[in-house]
Structure formats: C-alpha cells, structure tokens
Amino acid sequence: MPITDFDPNSIGLAENNIFGLPTSEENAKLILLPIPWEVTVSYRNGTARGPEKIVEASYQIDLCDADAPNFWRQGYFMPELDKYLVKKNDFLRHCAELIISNLSEGGATCENIQLQKKLEEINKGCAELKDWVYKQAMDLYAKGKYVALVGGDHSTPLGLMKAAADTYGEFGILQIDAHADLRKAYEGFTYSHASIMYNVLQEIPNMTKLVQVGVRDFCDEEYDMINSNDRIKTYFDHDIKERQYEGETWKFICDEIISHLPQQVYISFDIDGLDPKLCKNTGTPVQGGFEAEQIQYLFRKVVESGRRIIAFDLNEVSCGEDTQDSIDASIGARILYRMCNLFMKSNIHA
C-alpha cells in the first residue's frame, strides 16, 4: 500500500530508512540491495562503503521531484548491510591487493603457489556473491517487489541482471560508464569489476543489446569486441562531445541512443561516467564525462519513450579516506533518488 501518513516537508529522521522514509521491506515496493563489495577494484578502495555513505547523505534530500512527483509514496527500502559480506569483502580484498601488487611488479600469479590459491579463493568468493545476489533478488521478485542494487564496485550487479533476465525475459542494458568493462577475467579475476559486461554477454543470452554511453577509457581488446559484436553499441565520450561541438543537441543524441534499446531496459550506472568533479573519490576517475543533469535527462527520455525499466544499479560511489571533504555520497544519493522515482514512474505506467 502507498505511504500516506508521512509529511515529505519534515526533517529526515535517522530512525527512518533511506531518504528518511518510514519504510520496511513489507510496505516498500522497491527494495534497494546494498552490496558492500570491492574485492577486485584495480586502483583505489572505498566503494564498499558506498551504500552506507549514500544512506547517511540521503536524509538531506528534499523529496519533491517535478519529473516524477510523489512516486516515493510507493516506498523505497534498503536493508541493513549483510555483516558476512562485509567481512568476506575485507578478507578477499586483502588477498586481491597482494595479487595486484605482484602483477604490478612484473610477477605472474601462476608462478606463486600461495597467490594462485588466493586467486582461486577470490574467484570462488565472487561467484558466491553473484549467486547470493541472484537468490536475494529472486526471493524479492517472488514477493512481488521491484529490485535495484547499490554497490560496491561494478562487479556486484551481475546476479541481479541474471535474476531480471529470468523474471522479465529479453531486455537491453543502458550502461553509463567511463569504462567499457569488457575485459576477460581482468588481472585473473573472473568476476572483476572491469569484466562485468563481458560476463553479461557470456552468461545472459536474454540480454539482447548493450548500449554504452560515455566510454573513454578502454583497451585494444575491448575496442575490437565493440566493433565486432552486434550486441554492443558504444557511444564514446569523445564522439558525443565532437557531435555536440559541431551543433548536434543532447536531445538528438539521446533519442538516437534510446532507439537502440529494446522495450525492456536495465540501467547500469557507474558513477565514474560523470565528470570526475562530481565523483572525485571513485575508484578510477577519468577526465571527461557528463553533468548529472545530462544523465537524468537521458533516463527521463527513456521513460517518456514508453520503454520499461525493469531494474537498475548504481555503483562505484566512494567517499575515499577524507569523508569530511567529499560530495560523492551527496551526489550519489540524489542520483539514486531520481533513479528510484523514474523507475517507479516507468513501472506504474507500464
């Protein structure tokens, strides 16, 4: 039942759930799975704390959204962090750091028995996470809930994508990202954050089209895959900028992007798709990217096109070590709120 006994103009109470809403799993329509996981990040740590920092920042959000008014009444709820996942992440992250350090010094993991065992343990743990997320999502779908995910690094939503495929059938992915994430087992990690879309292509046949927007950091292998795989359509950041410099409007480009998407859409938003001034503590920031308003406009146009957003994730939000001098969580929380509203609008009108 929609939330009716709540004043959206009041102060956000810390005793309430995300965005200050008086929700529980029972009265919320949309469940936001928090995944505190960053085992395979290849540069900077911190994204595992993204979900909790987003929640802390979310109480400062004003709930009025002119594009999707009062959809919060359907209820958004984020469960508490799973303590086992937190401990498992911390342990496996330490193992991964040893492997990455050895690789950066010219070593080979296969030549070190101890590191090879750690790699096997990491790959097993990441596979277990994928299965855990899948089960959580499927259990929620069985209860009639909608499901989204808040990472953590970009490896975390694969289980949700598989659950969405099994629940909704064929769909396309709209990926906002500075990176292509098409590497095969990057650094030896089967479920690396840099391999999420490669794994989607391999494991989810119901994913019929991957549309990438904002990519500006990629390797030769990824570029070759983009150019040879009909399931992939990539809008590189430099191409988008060049088209705009020469007079094309963002609306025109957005309409073209959306034209490649099927009727059902999963949105995967890596925060580093934005200009790094808005996510300076994310794991691998890259110059270029978008203003938040540009991406929100794109999402709104997806909904206005009549397509249905079946699920979504927001990942790689990190406050880094200096949490007192960071706007990352505040921006992440506001983006998440707008995504929740547009998602709900898409499904209420579906």
| Cα(17)–Cα(61) distance, integer angstroms | 13
Confidence of residue 273 (pLDDT cuts 50, 70, 90): very high
Residue 295 exposure: Cα atoms within 13 Å on the Cβ side: 30
Q: Please, what is the angle between helix 328-348 and helix 292-304, to 10°? A: 10
Distance separating alpha carbons of residues 259 and 123, to the nearest angstrom: 37
In sequence order, what are the residues at sequence separation of 6 or more whose Cβ sits closer than 8 angstroms to the Cβ of residue 27?
Answer: 1, 3, 75, 77
**Euclidean distance between CA atoms 186 and 192, whole angstroms:** 6
pLDDT score at 106: 94
CATH superfamily entry for domain 18-348: Ureohydrolase domain (3.40.800.10)
Angle in degrees, CA 79, 275, 240, rounded to 5: 115
Q: What is the mean pLDDT of residues 122-150?
A: 98
**pLDDT surpassing 60 at residue 15:** yes
pLDDT at 13 over 90: no
Q: How confident is the model at residue 350 (pLDDT cuts 50, 70, 90)?
A: very low
pLDDT tens, position by position, 298-340: 999 999 999 999 999 999 999 766 555 578 999 999 999 999 9
Q: Is 214 exposed, middle or buried (0-12, 13-18, 19+ CB in 10 A)?
A: buried
Give the CA angle between residues 113, 40, 157 to the nearest 5°: 135
**What is the pTM assigned to this prediction?**
0.96
Per-residue pLDDT, 43: 82
At 67 the pLDDT is 92
Tokens of 219: 């390797």
CA–CA gap between residue 73 and residue 321 (Å, rounded): 35
Average pLDDT over residues 237-250: 98
Q: Taking the CA atoms of the chain, what radius of gyration do you get in angstroms?
A: 19
